[in-house]
Structure formats: C-alpha cells, structure tokens
C-alpha cells in the first residue's frame, strides 16, 4: 500500500476536457479535469493554475467551454497539457478546428464528444490554483464519438459498460 502522496492525482479516474476560452483579444485552450457537483441546476468545478493565460482569459470573460475529449483527441490533450499559451497561439500551432458556441464567445473544439458551455458563478483560491464553480448554460453532444478518461497517467476510451 502506498503511503506517500507522490502521484496521488493519478489514483482518481477523471474526465479529460479541453477547456477553451476567449477574451477580448485572445483565445486559449488547455487540458483540464472537471467534475460535476450538481445535476439540477447543472454545476461543475474546474481548477486552473493562476499563472497561465487561460486563467487570465476566464477572469476577463467570466465563461469557458469544456470540450469532453474524444478518443481521437488524446494527442491534442497531451499537447495542450504541456504547452503554455503565453507566447503561442495553441489553436494555430496544433491546428485545432473550432466552431461557434451556442451562447458564449469561447470557441467549441470540433471533434469532441461533447462541448459544455459554462458561466462562472464564483471561484476559490487554492494555493497556485483558482477553482471555478460554473453553471452549464448550453451543451452539444456527438453520440457517435467515444469520450476518454484519464487514470494512472494513461488515457482510456469509454466504450464498454460494466454490468
């Protein structure tokens, strides 16, 4: 049994989302993990490092899109997780195809299993992160695409129900 906290974040399976956000003059995307906290109303939380561009843009816009990554977007999830947007336009660098969101100015990332448009309700500072509590204001789902989950530092396609 493990007793040290090293790698503890890898013990909890989680969703893989590609957070997209647009401010007045810039846009950015990052890999994020999100969790629903309420179904009615639909509320979720996501944490974002305070020192990255996405944080500044969320603060400016008060909204973001959580694109639930598909099995075909694992490479993109890795790239976004290791690249900071301070000096690079990640949409251009990684050729990320985007579409217009239904209610927000933030772009939807094409090829995602789902795109969940969120408006920030409040935030909580936690060490070097800001944890956003957001309400879902619109969403789109492509049922023909498989979503992925992250566990043990690996990605898994979710295509088999366990009975």
**What is the overall mean pLDDT for the chain?**
91
Asked whether residue 48 is assigned to any structural domain, the reply reads: yes
| Predicted confidence (pLDDT) at residue 59 exceeds the cutoff of 90 | yes
pLDDT over threshold 60, residue 2 = no
Whether 45 is covered by a domain: the verdict is yes
Measured in degrees and rounded to the nearest 5, phi and psi for residue 79 equal -60, -45
Query: Does 148 reside within a domain?
Result: yes
Whether 73 has a pLDDT exceeding 90, the answer reads yes
CA pair distance 98, 118, nearest whole angstrom: 17
> By the 8 A CB rule, do 10 and 152 touch?
yes
At 37 the pLDDT is: 95
Count of domains observed in the chain: 1
CATH of the domain at 101: 2.30.110.10
Residue 13 CA, distance from chain mean position: 15
Residue 52 sits at φ, ψ, to 5 deg, of: -105, 160
CA–chain centroid gap for 73, Å, is: 12
Q: Can you give the residue range of the structural domain that contains 76? A: 15-157
Q: Express each pLDDT in 141-150 by its tens digit.
A: 999 999 999 9
pLDDT at 1: 54
For residue 103, tell me if it sits in a domain. yes
Classify residue 135: in a domain, yes or no: yes
Domain membership flag for residue 7: no
Specify if 65 maps to a domain. Answer: yes
CA angle at 110 for the pair 135 and 87, rounded to the nearest 5°: 85
- 32 has which bridge partners? 17
pLDDT, residue 4, reads 59
Other C-beta atoms closer than 10 Å to the C-beta of 77 total 21
- Decide if 109 is inside a domain: yes
pLDDT in tens, 86-124: 778 899 999 999 999 999 999 999 999 999 999 999 999
**Rounded Cα distance, 54 and 22, in Å:** 9
């Amino acid at each position: 049994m493990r007793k040290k906290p090293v790698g503890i974040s890898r013990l909890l399976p989680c969703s893989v989302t590609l957070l997209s956000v647009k401010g007045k003059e810039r846009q950015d995307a990052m890999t994020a993990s999100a969790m629903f906290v309420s179904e009615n109303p639909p509320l979720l939380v996501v944490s974002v490092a305070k020192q990255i561009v996405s944080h500044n843009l969320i603060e400016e816009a008060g909204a973001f899109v959580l694109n639930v990554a598909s099995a075909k977007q694992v490479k993109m999830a890795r790239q976004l997780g290791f690249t900071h947007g301070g000096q690079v336009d990640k949409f251009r660098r990684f050729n990320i195809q985007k579409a217009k969101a239904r209610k927000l100015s933030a772009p939807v990332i094409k090829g995602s299993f789902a795109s969940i448009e969120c408006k920030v309700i409040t935030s909580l500072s936690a060490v070097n992160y800001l944890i956003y509590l957001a309400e879902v204001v619109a969403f789109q789902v492509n049922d023909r695409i498989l979503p992925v989950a992250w566990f043990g530092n690996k990605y898994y396609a979710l295509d088999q129900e366990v009975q």
